[in-house]
Amino acid sequence: MLDFAEARQRVLDPPSWALRNYHLYKKMGFVQTGQSDPDPSGQVLYWYKRTIADV
């Protein structure tokens, strides 16, 4: 079993067609940091990152 309890950064790369998810990612504290170039089918990935502060 993997344990990510000590991870301080989370990253996502959802596809461009998952538009409804973007609002949730931003609400959860993720910030869009960039996007990929389109692949041959026109698919683009958007990069999101969230840094977790020490508590």
Beta-sheet strands, E only, within the chain: 9-12, 31-35, 46-51
Residue 20 located in a structural domain? yes
Q: Is the confidence at residue 54, as pLDDT, over 70?
A: no
> How far is the C-alpha of 53 from the C-alpha of 55, rounded, in Å?
6
pLDDT reported for residue 1: 53
| Total domains in the fold of the chain | 1
Does 15 fall in a domain? yes
Is residue 24 included in any domain, yes or no? yes
At 51, list the tokens. Answer: 């840094």
Bridge partners of residue 49, in order along the sequence:
11, 31
18 part of a folded domain: yes
Judge if pTM exceeds 0.75.
Answer: no
pLDDT of residue 32: 93
d(CA 44, CA 31): 17
pLDDT surpasses 70 at 14: yes
* Domain annotation covers residue 44: yes
The residue range of the domain holding 29 is 9-51
